[in-house]
Amino acid sequence: MTMTILRHLCLGVMLSLSTQALLAKTLIVAIPKDVLADYQKFVGKQDVLQIVDFSGDNARRDVVEVVLLQQALRLGGNTDKIEFKTIDSYARILRELESGQVLIAANSIWLADLKPLGGGIHISQAVVENGASEAMLYTLPTNAHALKAKTLGDVRQLRAISNQAWTADWLTLSSLKLPYLQSASTWVSMVQMVSFGRADYLLGPFPKTSDLSLQAEGVRFVPIPQVKVRLMGSRHFVVSRRHPDGAGAFTAINAGLSQLKAKHVIEKAYTESGFQNPNFKDWHFLN
C-alpha cells in the first residue's frame, strides 16, 4: 500500500511539472540589432530585474527601455521568459506587431506612428509624456552662420534636414514654420546633407560628451548653443493585440509601469542614461 501511494505521489509530481512546463511561455520581443548589442554590454552579468543604476558607456534611451520593459512585466506579475527577435526595420517591427508575429516591441514608440495600426495593438500608458522629449540642433563646427543663431527668427534663416517618416521630428520642425525644411530617407543621408553643406542642421539627442559634440558616420557635429526643441508627441510600449498572449502582457506592463513611475524609476533611468539632461534646462525652447 505504501509503495502504491508513493508511486501515485511521484506520478502526480511528474504530471504537475509537465503541466507547468507546458504552461510556461516565451514572450517574443522585437529589438534592433544594435540596441540588443548595447543592451547586452550594459547588463553584463547583472540581474536585469535588479538594475537600479542606469548610467554607463552603453546606456542610452533605447537600452534602458529594454530594462524598464522587463522590470514592468515582472512587477505586473508576468514571470515568462523573454526571447529577443532582432528586427532592424522600424516599419517591419510595426507590421509584425500588428500581425501578431511578435508580442512586444523592446523600445517605446511614438504615438503618432501607432495611430495607423488601428485595432491591431495595445498601447501602454506613456513612458515619455508629450513634450518631455527634447532635442538639439546639430551643425558643423565650421558653420559660423548656424552657430550664431539665437532666436527662432535666426533659425528660420537656416536650412533644416530631417526625415518625413520620423513623425515626431517632422511634426516638431514643421510647427516652427521653417522656410527651408528638407526630407532625407535615412540618417546617413541626413548626415551627408549637412556635411556637404546642403543643409545647416539636423536634430539630435542630448550629448554625452564633455565638449557637447555628436559623432555620426565619421562626422563631428556640435549643437547650436542655448537653443533646443520639445519633440511633439508621447512614447509608449506596444503589445500586439492579435497575439494570444497580448492581453496578459499588456495588463502586466501597464501595472508594472505604474509602480515604476510611483518609485520615480523611469525618470531616474531616462536622466541617468542622458536622454533627459537637467544640465540643459536653461537652454531656450524654440517651440
Cα 103–Cα 106–Cα 107 angle in degrees, nearest 5: 130
pLDDT of residue 137: 97
Q: How confident is the model at residue 22 (pLDDT cuts 50, 70, 90)?
A: very low
Average model confidence (pLDDT) across the chain:
90
pLDDT of residue 24: 59
Is there a contact between 59 and 272 (Cβ–Cβ < 8 Å)?
yes
* Predicted confidence (pLDDT) per residue in 60-77, tens digit: 999 999 999 999 999 999
Q: How confident is the model at residue 208 (pLDDT cuts 50, 70, 90)?
A: confident
Q: How many CB atoms lie within 10 A of CB 188?
A: 11
Task: Provide mean pLDDT across the span 250-276.
Answer: 96
Distance of alpha carbon 104 from alpha carbon 110, whole angstroms? 15
pLDDT of residue 136: 95
* Predicted confidence (pLDDT) per residue in 121-165, tens digit: 999 999 999 989 999 999 999 999 999 999 999 999 999 999 988
Residue with grid cell 521568459, as numbered in its chain = 81
Task: Provide mean pLDDT across the span 29-34.
Answer: 94
Distance of alpha carbon 106 from alpha carbon 63, whole angstroms? 9
Residue 20 has pLDDT above 80, yes or no: no
pLDDT of residue 166: 87
Q: How confident is the model at residue 40 (pLDDT cuts 50, 70, 90)?
A: very high
pLDDT of residue 17: 43
Distance of alpha carbon 97 from alpha carbon 28, whole angstroms? 10
- Percent share of the chain, pLDDT over 70: 92
Q: Which domains does the chain have, with CATH numbers?
A: 25-130+233-285 (3.40.190.10), 134-230 (3.40.190.10)
- Torsion over CA: 99, 104, 105, 109 (sign): positive
Residue 218 has pLDDT above 70, yes or no: yes
pLDDT of residue 4: 54
Q: What is the CA radius of gyration of the chain?
A: 23
* Predicted confidence (pLDDT) per residue in 223-253, tens digit: 999 999 999 999 999 999 999 999 999 999 9
Q: How confident is the model at residue 3 (pLDDT cuts 50, 70, 90)?
A: low
Alpha helices in the chain (DSSP H): 2-23, 33-43, 61-75, 90-99, 111-114, 144-147, 152-155, 167-175, 187-195, 246-262, 265-272
Q: How confident is the model at residue 88 (pLDDT cuts 50, 70, 90)?
A: confident
Query: Please, what's the largest Cα pairwise distance for the chain?
Result: 94
Is there a contact between 220 and 124 (Cβ–Cβ < 8 Å)?
no
pLDDT of residue 21: 42
